[in-house]
A and B are shown apart, each in its own frame.
Chain A
Amino acid sequence: MLLRMLWQSLFEGRRRKALAALTVALSATLVTTLFALSVDVGDKMAREMKSYGSNIRVTPKSETMSLVVGGVDYNPLKDKETLAESDLWKIKDIFWRNNIVGLAPRLTAPVTVQVGGRDGAGKASVIGTYFDQRVPLPDDAQYRTGVRTINPFWEVAGAWPTEPDPDDTAAQVETVLVGAALAERLGVAAGDRLTLAPRGEGVTADPRSVTVSGVLRTGGPEDNAIVAPLALAQALTGLAGRVQAVDVSALTIPENELSSKARRDTGDLTAEQYDSWYCSAYVSSIAHQIEEAIVNAAARPVWQVAAGEGAVIGRIQTLLLVVSLAAVAAAAMGVSALMNTTILERAREIGLMKALGAAGWEIHALFLGEAGLVGLIGGAFGVLCGWGVAQAVGWGVFGSGVDMPLITIPIVLVISVLTVLVGSILPARTITRLHPVEVLHGRA
Chain B
Amino acid sequence: MAPMDQLAVARTRDAADATPDARREVIGAEGLGRRFGTVEALVDVTFTVRQGDFLAIMGPSGSGKTTLLNILSLLDAPTSGSCRLDGIETATLSEADRVVIRREKVGLVFQTFHLIPYLSAVENVMLAQHYHSIADRDEAFAALERVGMGHRADHLPSQLSGGEQQRVCIARALINAPALILADEPTGNLDADNEARVMDLLDSLRHEGRTIVLVTHNPELGARADSILRLQHGRAV
Asked if the two chains touch in their complex, CB atoms less than 8 Å apart, one says yes
Residues of A within 8 A of B128 (CB): 356-357
B235 at the interface (CB under 8 A from A): no
Q: In the assembly, what is the distance between CA of A444 and CA of B132, in Å?
A: 27
Q: Interface size of A by Cβ–Cβ distance < 8 Å?
A: 28
From A8, A353, A354, B118 is in contact (CB under 8 Å) with A8
Q: Which residue of B lies closest to A443 (CB)?
A: B112
Chain A's closest residue to B134 (CB) is: A1
Are B118 and A352 in contact (CB-based, < 8 A)? no
Query: Which residue from chain A places its CB closest to the CB of B185 in the assembled complex?
Result: A441
With A1-B130, A441-B111, A444-B189 as contacts: A356 and B118 at CB distance below 8 Å: no
Say how far B120's CB is from chain A's closest CB, in angstroms: 9
- Pairwise interchain contact B135-A440, C-beta atoms closer than 8 A: no
Min CB distance B218 to A, Å, is 15
CB distance from B78 to the nearest CB of A (A): 13
Question: How many B residues touch the partner, as a band?
Answer: 20 to 34
Chain A residue numbers with a CB within 8 Å of B132 are: 357
Q: Which of B103, B126, B184 contacts A1, CB < 8 Å?
A: B126
Q: How far is the CB of B164 from chain A (nearest CB, A)?
A: 15
Surface stretch bound by A, among B6-14, B21-29, B46-54, B69-77: B69-77
Asked if A296 is an interface residue, CB under 8 A from chain B, the answer is no
Within 8 A of A (CB), among B72-89: 73, 75-76
Known: A4-B123, A354-B99, A355-B73. A440 touches B110 (CB 8 A): yes
B116 adjacent to A359 (CB under 8 Å): no
A206 at the interface (CB under 8 A from B): no
Chain A residues in 8 Å Cβ range of B73: 355
The answer to whether the Cβ of B108 comes within 8 Å of any Cβ in the partner chain is yes
Inter-chain contact count A-B, CB under 8 Å?
A: 72
For the complex, would chain A's binding face be called helix, strand, loop or mixed by DSSP majority?
helix
Residues of B within 8 A of A349 (CB): 116-117
How near does chain A come to B86, taking the closest CB pair, in angstroms? 15
Cβ–Cβ contact A9 & B70, under 8 A: no
Determine if B102 is an interface residue (Cβ-Cβ < 8 Å).
Answer: yes
In this complex, what residue of B is CB-closest to A1?
B130
The answer on a CB contact under 8 Å between A355 and B135 is: no
Chain B's closest residue to A358 (CB) is B131
B35 at the interface (CB under 8 A from A): no
Assess whether B229 is interfacial by the CB under 8 Å rule: no
CB neighbors of B among A9-63 (8 A)? 9, 11-12
Judge if A437 is at the interface, Cβ distance under 8 Å: yes
In the bound complex, residues from chain A placing their C-beta under 8 Å from that of B63 are none
For the complex, what is the distance from the CA of A443 to the CA of B110, rounded to whole Å? 10
Kindly report which residue of chain B lies nearest to residue A8, judged by CB atoms: B118
Which residue on chain B has the smallest CB distance to residue A439?
B114
Instruction: List the B side residues contacting A443 at CB < 8 Å.
Output: 111-112, 188-189
Q: Chain B residues near A8 (CB, 8 Å)? A: 118-119, 123
A436 at the interface (CB under 8 A from B): yes
A362 proximal to B (CB < 8 A) = yes
Residues of A close to B130: CB separation below 8 A: 1-2
User: Shortest beta-carbon distance, A3 to chain B, in Å?
Assistant: 11
Which residues 254-275 of A sit at the B interface, judged by CB distance below 8 A? none
With A8-B119, A437-B76, A441-B66 given, is the CB distance from A356 to B112 under 8 Å? no
* A443–chain B nearest beta-carbon distance, Å: 6
How far, in angstroms, from A442 to B126 measured CA to CA in the complex? Answer: 24
In the assembled complex, the Cα of A359 lies from the Cα of B132 at a distance in Å of 10
Interface flag for A5 (CB, 8 Å): yes
CB of A348 within 8 A of chain B?
Answer: yes
A-side contacts of B117, CB under 8 Å: 12, 349
Interface residues of B in 173-188 (CB under 8 A from A): 184, 188
Please list 16 pairs of residues, one from A and one from B, whose beta carbons are closer than 8 Å in the complex, sorted by A's number: A1-B126, A12-B117, A349-B117, A353-B127, A353-B131, A355-B73, A355-B75, A355-B114, A356-B127, A358-B99, A359-B131, A440-B114, A441-B110, A441-B184, A443-B112, A444-B112
**Nearest 3 A-B pairs (CB), nearest first?**
A357-B103, A1-B130, A444-B112
